[in-house]
Amino acid sequence: MKKITMLSALLFLSFANAQVPKGTQFVSGQFGFSTIKDESNNSSSDSYRFLPTYGYFFAPNWAVAVSAGYRQTTDHSTTKNANFENLNLEAESSAFVVTPSLRKFWVLDERFSLFCQLDFPLEFGSTKQFLTLESNGVELNHTKNSFTSYGINLKPGIDYFVNRRWKIAASIGEIGYNNVHYKETKFNKSKFNFEANFSTIQFAVKYIIPAKK
């Protein structure tokens, strides 16, 4: 029994002292495309996202990272006007995304580590809306609004080492705040987020560049 207790203590100490060395670098990225259709109300949504990331460990188990990329969402829906004519509404939102972040890691063993990251997302983009008659394609209305947004998000996650160079990372849920300012309409929108469900899981692949000895 004493041997088991001593072995458990040694294993715990070895994991507690395990570190990601200063000078370690990583490159990762998120790429996604999705299409959602709802036949009940004749609507659909297409989204695209590309967000590469570079990170550097400035101290053992502490890293800074920056992500920069592009995202776009296009929503389509059909409704009827007072004359029972079909109207097509298309709404598009696109933005360049820059996200600096601070990350803390806890190494559990040779394969797994936990992390918590503090993100500061910035977006610079625009929204467009087109309203047309389905029968002849005549445009009835067209609006455009540029926007900037900023926020702060806290996300927990887990890393899994596939091998010495490659990791799979997953973040689950987030707590945060986001503010959007629309230039043309001079409208501001703020939102507090608290999400902790499987629909908020984000996966990424990481390539590790070991620290130079």
The CATH number of residue 129's host domain is 2.40.160
- 27 belongs to a structural domain: no
Whether residue 15 lies inside any domain: the answer is no
21 found inside a domain: no
Does 1 fall in a domain? no
Rounded to whole angstroms, the Cα distance separating 54 from 65 reads 6
Residue 178 tokens, joined: 């986001």
Establish if 13 belongs to a structural domain.
Answer: no
What gap in Å lies between CA 113 and CA 161, rounded to an integer? Answer: 9
Distances in whole angstroms, Cα of residue 108 to Cα of each of 61, 63, 81, 103, 160: 12, 17, 60, 16, 10
Q: Is 139 part of a structural domain of the chain?
A: yes
Domain assignment present for 75: yes
Contact, 211 vs 173, CB < 8 A?
no
CA 168 to centroid of chain Cα atoms: 15
pLDDT by 10s per residue, the chain, length 213: 444 444 444 444 444 557 899 999 999 988 778 888 887 777 888 888 899 999 999 999 999 999 999 999 998 887 776 665 777 888 899 999 999 999 999 999 989 999 999 999 999 999 998 888 766 766 777 788 999 999 999 999 999 999 989 999 998 888 999 999 998 888 899 999 887 766 668 888 999 999 987
Please report the pLDDT score of residue 14 as a whole number: 46
Report how many domains make up the chain.
Answer: 1
Answer yes or no: is 50 within a domain. yes
The whole-angstrom separation of Cα 164 and Cα 24 is 12
pLDDT score recorded for residue 181: 95
Domain containing 163 equals 32-209
